[in-house]
């Protein structure tokens, strides 16, 4: 949280950053109070957390109320993908080799349940439990040995998308 605050100061100045920081703290306290005092009505499919409200996602200039799971930090897109992978795609029944680029914490339990799938987590940095450090534009794999590629919220950050897609 402190690193986030410092980034906001760098990007927007100390007055605006402090105002935003106070707003985030206030909203978090509100959500914690709601979850502590009111009956649960939400369940996170990714981690099983139950409560009244998800945390608000607040950045400079916009806010998404009731967005992030307090336990696994999943947002609505993660929760929808988790349910789709589990119920429609039936990831637990899949077998073979899967490459998961920039693995997200919210989907980690799902990859662990796919016991017949050899999941290899790939990232640029040694974070989020990456098994292999690699750039999407220079992959150290033979392309026809992979059965599943999961690349969510990544391709828009790649420098040269056609090169990455040819890999």
Name the site residues for Zn ion (rule: CB under 5 A).
44, 46-47, 49, 69, 71-72, 74
Q: Tell the smallest beta-carbon distance from residue 78 to Zn ion (Å).
A: 8
DSSP string, 15-76: HHHHHHHHHHHHHHHHHHHHHHHS---EE-TTT--EES-PEEEEETTEEEEEEE-TTT---H
Query: Which residue, 71 or 152, is less far from Zn ion as judged by CB?
Result: 71
Contacts with 134 (C-beta within 8 Å, 6 or more apart), sequence order: 122, 123, 124, 140
Query: Which residue, 20 or 44, is less far from Zn ion as judged by CB?
Result: 44
Q: Tell the smallest beta-carbon distance from residue 15 to Zn ion (Å).
A: 34
Query: Which residue, 68 or 114, is less far from Zn ion as judged by CB?
Result: 68
Q: Tell the smallest beta-carbon distance from residue 73 to Zn ion (Å).
A: 7
CA distance 12 to 163: 35
Q: Tell the smallest beta-carbon distance from residue 82 to Zn ion (Å).
A: 9
Query: Which residue, 79 or 122, is less far from Zn ion as judged by CB?
Result: 79
């Amino acid at each position: 949280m402190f690193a986030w605050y410092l980034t906001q100061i760098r990007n927007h100045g100390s007055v605006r950053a402090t105002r935003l920081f106070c707003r985030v703290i206030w909203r978090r306290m509100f959500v914690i109070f709601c979850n502590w005092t009111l009956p649960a009505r939400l369940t996170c499919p990714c981690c099983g957390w139950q409560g009244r409200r998800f945390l608000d996602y607040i950045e400079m200039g916009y806010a998404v109320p009731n967005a992030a799971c307090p336990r696994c930090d999943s947002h609505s897109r993660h929760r929808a993908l988790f349910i789709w992978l589990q119920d429609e795609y039936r990831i637990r029944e899949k077998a073979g080799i899967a490459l998961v680029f920039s693995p997200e914490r919210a989907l980690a339990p799902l990859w662990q349940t796919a016991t017949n799938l050899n999941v290899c987590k790939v990232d640029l940095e040694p974070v989020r439990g990456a098994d292999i450090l690699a750039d999407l534009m220079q992959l150290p794999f033979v392309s026809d040995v992979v059965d599943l590629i999961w690349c969510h919220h990544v391709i828009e950050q790649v420098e040269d998308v056609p090169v990455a897609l040819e890999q």
